[in-house]
A = this chain, B = another copy of it.
Amino acid sequence: MTQQASGKELIYVKEGHKHTSPIPQGVKAGGFIFLSAVRGVETGSTRPVADTEQQARLLFENIRRALEAAGSSLDRVVKIGVYMINLQRDRPIFNAVWKEYFGDAPPARFAVQVLDMGGAGDDSKFLADVTALA
C-alpha cells in the first residue's frame, strides 16, 4: 500500500484482480476499505473465466486477496453492490458461492442487471463493488 498525504492509502495487490483502467485495486480511508470493481478473473488476466460458477468463485477469492493484502478479511465486508449481465439466470449460482464464502455473517447487498461491464466482449457475468471495515 502507498500512503497518500491526503489521508488515503492506495491498495495494489500482486495476486487477484487487475484493471486496464488507471485505478488501484482499492483504497483504505476513514476506517473503511473500498475495492475497485472485482470480477472473476485469474491473477494476471483482465478477462473473466468462462464458467459461471468458477467466475463467481474467483470473484470472491479476489475480494479475499485484496482485503487480506490490506490487513482486513472477508468477514469484515459490510456492503456489496453486485452488477450482473443476466440477473435471473446467474443469481442462484452467485448465491450458492456467496453462502460458501460468507456463511452466517453476510454483508448488506443489492443486485441489479446492467448492460455492460468489464472489457469489450469479455463475457463478464458479475462485477462487485465492495466496502469493508479496514
A interface, CB within 8 angstroms of B: 4-8, 10, 21-27, 29-32, 34-37, 73, 75-76, 78-79, 81, 83, 87-88, 91, 95, 98-99, 102, 105-117, 120, 127, 129, 131, 133
Assess the A7–B76 pair: CB atoms within 8 A. Answer: yes
A113-B111 CB under 8 A given contacts A6-B73, A22-B99, A75-B6: no
Distance between Cα atoms of A76 and B7 in the complex (Å): 7
Q: List 22 A-B contacts (CB under 8 A).
A: A4-B75, A4-B105, A6-B75, A6-B133, A8-B78, A21-B109, A21-B111, A25-B108, A27-B79, A27-B107, A27-B108, A29-B78, A29-B133, A30-B32, A35-B108, A36-B108, A36-B109, A87-B116, A88-B120, A110-B129, A112-B117, A112-B127
A131-B75 CB under 8 A given contacts A22-B98, A106-B24, A114-B115: no
A111 to chain B, nearest CB (A): 7
A-B contact sample (8 more), CB < 8 A, given A6-B105, A21-B111? A8-B105, A8-B107, A21-B109, A26-B108, A27-B107, A34-B108, A88-B116, A110-B127
Name the B residues within 8 Å of A4 (CB-CB).
75, 105
Q: For the complex formed by this chain, how many copies does it contain in all?
A: 3
